[in-house]
Amino acid sequence: RLKELEVPRLGHSDVHIKMLAAPINPADINMIQGTYAILAPLPAVAGNEGVGRVLEVGPGVTALRPGDWVIPADAGLGTWRTQAVFPEASLLQVPSDIPLLCAATLSVNPCTAYRMLADFESLAPGDSIIQNAANSGVGQAVIQIAKATGIRTINVVRDRPDLPKLVERLKALGADHVITEDMLRKPEMKEVFKSIPKPRLALNCVGGKSTTEMLRHLQPKGTMVTYGGMAKQPVTVPVSAFIFRDVRLRGFWMTQWKKDHAHDKESLSSMMDSLCQLVRRGQLGAPACTTVPLEDFKEALVASTQPFTSSKQVLLL
């Protein structure tokens, strides 16, 4: 529910911010449902991501000043609010010359896409990757970052009534091939691989049959990274894929990566700089978004849980 709270007093190393925009991500819904790997102590403000503008800083704050834009350094900050006082260490500065919706959606999906493309296989221009849930926020970021670095993408989506429109939108982002889950099992896949090498990296956000079929097209010694489970079904791998093709199965969670690199600020700021440069060059945009005033948050929550959602709900604060 929407509730009026008093803004806490500014501490020595605190930052008072006016939140500007915050998206609704699947992980936010899972946290509210109590099914996510991290749970906020109750009562809690929801929202793991968003962008705010600094209004005032405590005397011990060194890196931020009024007017700066900031995003959460980690999950669980509680961004669905109009104002907040946070410790400086829990915030990252981002340039205020990038579009608002890019800044609001920067710290989860693009970071996940960036790390999965960089950390599991040494990909070079001309290589290919395959991913399911290609129209998700991460999927759209993967397409754009891969395009900017010369990596080709095979993008798997569920069949739907407006499929041609979705295919057109993903190709406009830079997708090389957009196929349905059914096509993964069909002989036409051979046509795809006449113009593109078999992928060494598969990105899985679905689970179940979609994953098993996607895995069949992976190169020997290739890697499949699972970062979501939208089908709520296990990842099933044929024994032959392990024995005869030596495929690797890995998992990725951006929150864990940030914990593992908590003392390595350089790797985090380097990634953010790279992403902001892509945004500035017009090579990385925000996912398709629908902006909603905070008072209409209930409608936004309902919309974000509908099947075949291709637009991210973003609360304007």
Catalytic residues: 36
CA–CA distance, 104 with 25 (Å, rounded to integer): 11
Residue 68, token pair as written in the block:
């700066």
Would strands 51-57 and 14-23 be described as parallel, antiparallel, or unpaired?
antiparallel
Q: Which amino acid is it at 37?
A: A
CA distance 267 to 210: 33
